A and B are shown apart, each in its own frame.
Chain A
Amino acid sequence: MKEKHIWQNNFYIFRLIWEIAPSRVIFSFLLNLTDSAWDIYFSIIFYRYLLNGIIEQKSLGYLLLLVGIGAFLYFLRRILFNFYSFRVSVETDQYIYEALHMRVYAKATDVELAAFENTAFYEMYTKACLETSGRPVAVLDNLTSVFSTCVAIISMVIALVDMDSFALIFVIFPLTSQLLFGKKRNRLQYALDVENVAPVREKEYVNRTVYLKEYAKELRSTNIFSVLMRNYRLSSERITRNYKKYGIKLATLDLMMSLFNLYIPFFASCLYALYKITELGTMSIGEYSILSVAVIGLAGNLQQLADTYGKAHRDSLYIQNLRDFLSYESKISEDQSGMIPNTFETLEFKDVSFTYDGAEKPALEHLSFTIRAGQTVAIVGLNGAGKTTLVKLIMRLYDPQQGEICYNGKNIKEYQVRAYRETIGTVFQDFRMFSLPVADNVLMGRADDPQRAETALRKAGIWEKIKNAPHGLQTVIGREFDSDGLELSGGEAQRIALARVFAGHAQIAILDEPSSALDPVAEYQMFENLRHAAEDKTTIFISHRLSSTQMADVIYLIDGHTIKEAGTHTELMARQGLYWDMYQKQASAYQGEDR
């Protein structure tokens, strides 16, 4: 990464925090400044003046004043530090967290759904989420410390020059250690880390698998545990080999670095001072310990400055990720302008083809059909045929690469995304409940209107249950955050999801049938829920088993990525194609019985 980018990225965060919480920035500066003031006072001024004062037999008052100033400075620093850590930082941490997460969330809901399936994007998102919690504040602290470290370095250099400018030469050791050994050490460490990635991950995988509940039964009833243990042992042995390969080299470099950073300057300055005192007599005994304290202090601060740079460099990579995420251009943005849709008349697919990102083959090819107002449409097909993809295209969660989808004769891309999506009410196969009041779960962010929610719940046939809940419409769903919360069965939750469709202005209902393992009665109830919902709207059913297809006005069978068969149940049965075959196979076991 270029030098310029490193600082640009760091200042990007700095500016962000300044906008959100200027008090945090100011305090961070102040704190750093008092820190280095205290540091300088103690390491070079206080002790030196005190010791010289004692040797020169200065008055008691003068010496006590020195002690008093020190105590006062220290006290000031403690007050400031505690106020900062108990008040300013906890409060601003939350505000920074809030502001950054709001930006990230806004982006996350705005990007097209395809981005969620793109591993690279999702990784970027994951990192952005992880990093927005602690990183920004760390960046700020790092930046403000540059300032105070520089102040400390300058003061120590002045002090040393004042005492003995030759002693500055000992600082060369810490200055060159990074260049001589640091770089090589980082390279070795990196190589070691890279070689350890795979075995470490394998070990973590095994560890997790052994302890997770879902694997418990198979671990007890099969020999898979022995496979896992063998993999664990092999990985562990690989890690050991890696450490054997790199350990001694790393240790030697580490030794050299601590010699150069601490021990050589310390011993050299001690001996140098002693030599001047005893042999040359050009230094007072009072300055003996101060010289080494100042040299070590200066070395430490230089070290810190180098660390700061390293941190800024590392931080910059994370910030770049955050910036990339926030500036990701949504392909189907909700803010996109466009027409407001009229009352629904037709929805037409014109030679639509769609391929998932990174997939070799298209999920759907050359799809053409029309859905008219008032129709009940069933979409059927084998697992993975593309049924769900088709409805996602209708909802404009993806855009097709070829062909167009038209609402009332106009390409759906010409409508305002938000308004277009509101013409569609959906009950997903994997519908979700939110840990929010029932009212919010039904109205889904539309204006608060209890009457409307009640009517919708009535239509969905779940009002009685809600009415009797502890807080009625305001009862929170789920017990995760509220012990008064409402636990719902699968069928009941589906009714809430259905109520969402009734509460909106949807003109088209898309109903995805459950395919999970439900017992016959529960499954029957869920089918009935959906059938009931279909009565007065244009409805698109996605059917995972051929059960609710007979009442449809038209059935589309998807196979080989396109519509293979279309027509009513009777027509398709007459064709004796795939639909007929599937139907026969499912039905055979149910037929020919004694009714």
Chain B
Amino acid sequence: MKKKIADQLYMQSYIFRYIPFYALLKIILVVVTSLLDIFLFTYSFKFAIDAVEAGKGFFEILPFFAVAGALSILTVFLRKWVDCQYFPICRERLAQKMKMHLMEKASAVDLACYDQPEYYDTLIMANQNADTNALNIFHTHVELLGQVVSISGFVTILLSLDALGVVFAVVSLVMGLFTNAVFNRLQLKCELELAPLYRKRDYTGRIFFLPDYAKELRMSRIKLPLTAYFKTSIREIVDTNQKYDMRFLALRLLNFFTTVFLTDAVYMAILVYRIVVRKTLSVGDFTALYLCMDKLSYWLPNLMETLTNVQKHSLHTELFQKFENYQNTVKDEGQVMPDTEAAEIEINNLSFRYPGTDHSVLKDIDLHIRSGEKIAIVGYNGSGKSTLVKLLMRFYDPDRGEIKMQGRNIREYRLTPYRKQIGAVFQDYCTYACSVAENVSMDTKPDEEQVWHALKKSGLAERIGRTEHGTASQLGRELYEDGLILSGGEAHKIALSRAFYHDCRFVILDEPSAALDPISEYSFYESVRENFRNATVIFISHRLSSTRGADRIYMMSNGEIIEQGTHDELMKQNGAYAASFRLQAEKYVTE
């Protein structure tokens, strides 16, 4: 519990650090508003009634109301100003400071964190809106403060007028907390039982909604079993609810009798008895007590709800702590800047398994690539090709063995420049909702001339040239209505242009031709041969025709290099490579 509170205070400290004036103003406003509310809507009645009973005149009472009125106008205006202007601006300031800091951290976290779903969900996704969470925590705490002030205000009035009222308030609070806790526990149980049922129900919705399924839905009668499934899940939801509903009802009524009924009915009867029979109360006191209890029976349940909310925040804060304290395993401790002139790669005795698994993806890999060499890595799905690329990029560090570039272990280079000097086009490349030039250069200040060169080399210059804004065209329609929509093949060419733009000494192309038609594929390889004459290039491909021209081919299977050599050498060996090649070539046999 102590830790939970400390965690929440820690997260909230970001608010005080980045937008301290807002935090202060908000606290002051809440306290003042709470006090003013008590004063205005409860105490003023007693004051007026007492004044009248004491025989005071209208103009003697008037100043009291004038001051109260002026105070309320002032606080209301301040509150509205904060809501309409100051808060939104501060929210942006927080987003710019805290969120950008978080994004920066997220974009540098070990790639390994993305591999395990539970890690990805709790460490990365969960902290996506940590700034909003921090703000929510702060607001909940402030709300709590406001409620405590209000309640203590009413309790003070009660104490000054009638101590018995305090007893009723306390009993009602304790009982309310107790019945609420029981109710919440039961509700949580019910929600847990319902969650998978809702997922089942929503699955059908997803099928009917997604365009991917639209064809099958029309070409078959699959919608019959799907709707049956939908109706069953609805029935199950209703049944599950019915299992709990009477218990919920009973608990709610118990709550009523132990809270509102006590304060509003029993206590009221006692007050009536005292004023009528015992005559120990004035009418002013009676009014104040009545209004106090009325307000308390509104604020006490509110306080309980806020306390429940405070507890709910603990989940977020725990995950945030985890994120803040996360230490990358791929350490950026190197000092050397990478050489931009040549790229000789040497891999010695390399072994690797993904964290949290016990299966080695790479086993004792030895590889030597001379600067300027073109090599191909081929193999079945899951043979470890892409993992090898990830290690070369230093997304992971190997468990055993080492990778050297220009004779130096890659750990000795500074991490970011090392990664960025490699021109890598991944199989699952992405395009971004920014300009074509930025998508090619992947930087804020693209060199226009170089962008055009790169586009020419990837075969996209003509297409971009035809557009109205050229390389300034925005990609995609998500953010810009007149954005450029590219086909799969064209988008792929954008990704390929990136490798050409930087004129890298070391290029990795992962399945570069999967989305290209035969003609584009052919010219792409021509272009690569022509433009990367001096660069070290690693191709990864299933399409054995495309890797044939490589200086050296490595065939991988189960994390090991099982064959290596030129195409002709491997065909002579008549091993796995030759078998795969013939399987694909079979269809192209010349008549």
15 additional A-B residue pairs with CB within 8 Å, beyond A259-B76, A550-B587 = A60-B272, A74-B265, A105-B204, A211-B106, A227-B438, A230-B444, A285-B283, A288-B48, A334-B218, A392-B215, A421-B219, A436-B226, A444-B220, A581-B519, A585-B522
A270, B241: Cα distance in complex, Å: 49
Mark out the residues of chain A between 85 and 111 whose CB falls within 8 Å of any chain B CB in the assembled complex.
Answer: 86-87, 90-91, 94-95, 97-98, 101-102, 104-105, 108-109
> Chain A residues with Cβ under 8 A from B583's Cβ?
520-521, 524
Q: Which of A206, A279, A586 is within 8 Å of B588, CB to CB?
A: A586
Known: A55-B283, A91-B238. A86 touches B261 (CB 8 A): no
> Chain A residues with Cβ under 8 A from B545's Cβ?
586, 588-590
| CB closest chain-B residue, reference A382 | B517
User: Residue B326 at the A interface, CB < 8 A?
Assistant: no
Residue in A79, A86, A239 whose Cβ sees the most chain B Cβ within 10 Å: A86
User: Residue B407 at the A interface, CB < 8 A?
Assistant: no
7 contacts between A and B (CB under 8 A): A79-B249, A91-B241, A211-B103, A217-B426, A221-B420, A239-B88, A445-B222
- Give the interface SS of chain A, mostly helix, strand, loop or mixed: helix
Q: Which of B92, B120, B217, B515 is within 8 Å of A240, CB to CB?
A: B92
Docked-complex contact A67 and B272, CB < 8 angstroms: yes
Docked-complex contact A500 and B434, CB < 8 angstroms: no
Q: Which of B218, B222, B419 is within 8 Å of A113, CB to CB?
A: B218
Chain B contact residues (Cβ within 8 angstroms of A): what range? 35 or more
Docked-complex contact A222 and B223, CB < 8 angstroms: no
User: Residue B269 at the A interface, CB < 8 A?
Assistant: yes
Binds A, one of B55-63, B135-143, B150-158: B55-63
User: Residue A247 at the B interface, CB < 8 A?
Assistant: yes
Known: A214-B428, A220-B419. A518 touches B519 (CB 8 A): no
Interface string of A71-86 (1 = CB under 8 A from B): 1001100110011001
> Chain B residues with Cβ under 8 A from A591's Cβ?
585, 588, 590
CB of B433 to closest CB in A, whole Å: 6
Mark out the residues of chain A between 379 and 431 whose CB falls within 8 Å of any chain B CB in the assembled complex.
Answer: 382-384, 392, 395, 397, 421, 424, 426, 428, 430-431
| CB closest chain-A residue, reference B294 | A42
Q: Which of B223, B427, B487 is within 8 Å of A445, CB to CB?
A: B223
User: Residue B460 at the A interface, CB < 8 A?
Assistant: no
> Chain A residues with Cβ under 8 A from B336's Cβ?
none
Q: Which of A63, A231, A232, A431 is within 8 Å of B276, CB to CB?
A: A63
Docked-complex contact B548 and A589, CB < 8 angstroms: yes
> Chain B residues with Cβ under 8 A from A548's Cβ?
587
CB of A382 to closest CB in B, whole Å: 4
Docked-complex contact A221 and B84, CB < 8 angstroms: no
Binds A, one of B23-31, B65-73, B341-349: B65-73
Known: A87-B249, A240-B92, A247-B84. A97 touches B542 (CB 8 A): no
A408, B140: Cα distance in complex, Å: 72
User: Residue B468 at the A interface, CB < 8 A?
Assistant: no
Binds B, one of A11-19, A156-164, A249-257, A452-460: A249-257
Known: A78-B256, A105-B208. A263 touches B72 (CB 8 A): yes
Docked-complex contact B518 and A585, CB < 8 angstroms: yes
Docked-complex contact A590 and B581, CB < 8 angstroms: yes
Mark out the residues of chain B between 62 and 94 whose CB falls within 8 Å of any chain A CB in the assembled complex.
Answer: 62, 65, 68-69, 72-73, 76-77, 80-81, 83-86, 88-89, 92-93
Docked-complex contact A63 and B88, CB < 8 angstroms: no
Interface string of A267-280 (1 = CB under 8 A from B): 10011001101110
A87, B238: Cα distance in complex, Å: 9
Docked-complex contact B218 and A434, CB < 8 angstroms: no
| CB closest chain-B residue, reference A108 | B208
User: Residue A300 at the B interface, CB < 8 A?
Assistant: no
Docked-complex contact A251 and B588, CB < 8 angstroms: no
Q: Which of A63, A248, A255 is within 8 Å of B272, CB to CB?
A: A63
| CB closest chain-A residue, reference B58 | A278
> Chain B residues with Cβ under 8 A from A550's Cβ?
587
| CB closest chain-B residue, reference A225 | B107
A278, B286: Cα distance in complex, Å: 20
User: Residue B229 at the A interface, CB < 8 A?
Assistant: yes
Docked-complex contact A430 and B212, CB < 8 angstroms: yes
User: Residue A522 at the B interface, CB < 8 A?
Assistant: yes
Docked-complex contact A254 and B283, CB < 8 angstroms: no
Known: A223-B443, A278-B52. A289 touches B253 (CB 8 A): no
| CB closest chain-A residue, reference B124 | A211
Known: A216-B111, A593-B585. A445 touches B225 (CB 8 A): yes
Docked-complex contact B479 and A205, CB < 8 angstroms: yes
Q: Which of A232, A392, A397 is within 8 Å of B100, CB to CB?
A: A232
User: Residue B324 at the A interface, CB < 8 A?
Assistant: no
| CB closest chain-B residue, reference A231 | B434
| CB closest chain-B residue, reference A248 | B85
Q: Which of A58, A216, A383, A426 is within 8 Å of B114, CB to CB?
A: A216
Docked-complex contact A218 and B209, CB < 8 angstroms: no
Binds A, one of B6-14, B195-203, B354-362: B195-203
A244, B261: Cα distance in complex, Å: 49
Docked-complex contact B96 and A236, CB < 8 angstroms: yes
Q: Which of A218, A248, A444 is within 8 Å of B426, CB to CB?
A: A218
> Chain B residues with Cβ under 8 A from A522's Cβ?
380-381
User: Residue B432 at the A interface, CB < 8 A?
Assistant: yes
A431, B213: Cα distance in complex, Å: 8
> Chain B residues with Cβ under 8 A from A354's Cβ?
none
> Chain B residues with Cβ under 8 A from A520's Cβ?
380, 542, 544, 580-581, 583-584
Docked-complex contact B276 and A60, CB < 8 angstroms: yes
Docked-complex contact A595 and B128, CB < 8 angstroms: no
Q: Which of A51, A211, A546 is within 8 Å of B125, CB to CB?
A: A211
User: Residue B551 at the A interface, CB < 8 A?
Assistant: no
Q: Which of A47, A63, A233, A279 is within 8 Å of B290, CB to CB?
A: A47
User: Residue B398 at the A interface, CB < 8 A?
Assistant: no
Docked-complex contact A82 and B203, CB < 8 angstroms: no
> Chain B residues with Cβ under 8 A from A202's Cβ?
433, 479
| CB closest chain-A residue, reference B77 | A255
A565, B433: Cα distance in complex, Å: 40
User: Residue A306 at the B interface, CB < 8 A?
Assistant: no
Docked-complex contact A432 and B213, CB < 8 angstroms: yes
Docked-complex contact A274 and B106, CB < 8 angstroms: no
Mark out the residues of chain B between 200 and 243 whose CB falls within 8 Å of any chain A CB in the assembled complex.
Answer: 200, 203-205, 207-209, 211-227, 229-231, 234, 237-238, 241-242
A239, B229: Cα distance in complex, Å: 46
User: Residue A583 at the B interface, CB < 8 A?
Assistant: yes
Docked-complex contact A67 and B430, CB < 8 angstroms: no
Docked-complex contact B584 and A94, CB < 8 angstroms: no
| CB closest chain-A residue, reference B422 | A221
User: Residue A124 at the B interface, CB < 8 A?
Assistant: no
> Chain A residues with Cβ under 8 A from B567's Cβ?
593
| CB closest chain-B residue, reference A510 | B219
CB of B526 to closest CB in A, whole Å: 11
User: Residue A243 at the B interface, CB < 8 A?
Assistant: yes
- Of all A-B residue pairs in the complex, the 5 with the closest CB atoms, nearest first, are A247-B85, A445-B221, A589-B545, A590-B585, A587-B588
User: Residue A340 at the B interface, CB < 8 A?
Assistant: no
Known: A251-B83, A586-B588. A116 touches B211 (CB 8 A): yes
User: Residue B449 at the A interface, CB < 8 A?
Assistant: no
CB of A261 to closest CB in B, whole Å: 11
> Chain A residues with Cβ under 8 A from B571's Cβ?
593-594
Known: A64-B269, A397-B215. A277 touches B380 (CB 8 A): no
Docked-complex contact A94 and B45, CB < 8 angstroms: no
| CB closest chain-B residue, reference A489 | B381
Docked-complex contact A82 and B269, CB < 8 angstroms: no
Interface string of A299-329 (1 = CB under 8 A from B): 0000000000000000000000000000000
Docked-complex contact B248 and A86, CB < 8 angstroms: yes
Docked-complex contact B393 and A74, CB < 8 angstroms: no
Known: A105-B208, A217-B426. A517 touches B443 (CB 8 A): no
Q: Which of A434, A521, A570, A595 is within 8 Å of B580, CB to CB?
A: A521
A546, B545: Cα distance in complex, Å: 13
User: Residue B364 at the A interface, CB < 8 A?
Assistant: no
A169, B114: Cα distance in complex, Å: 66
A227, B424: Cα distance in complex, Å: 18
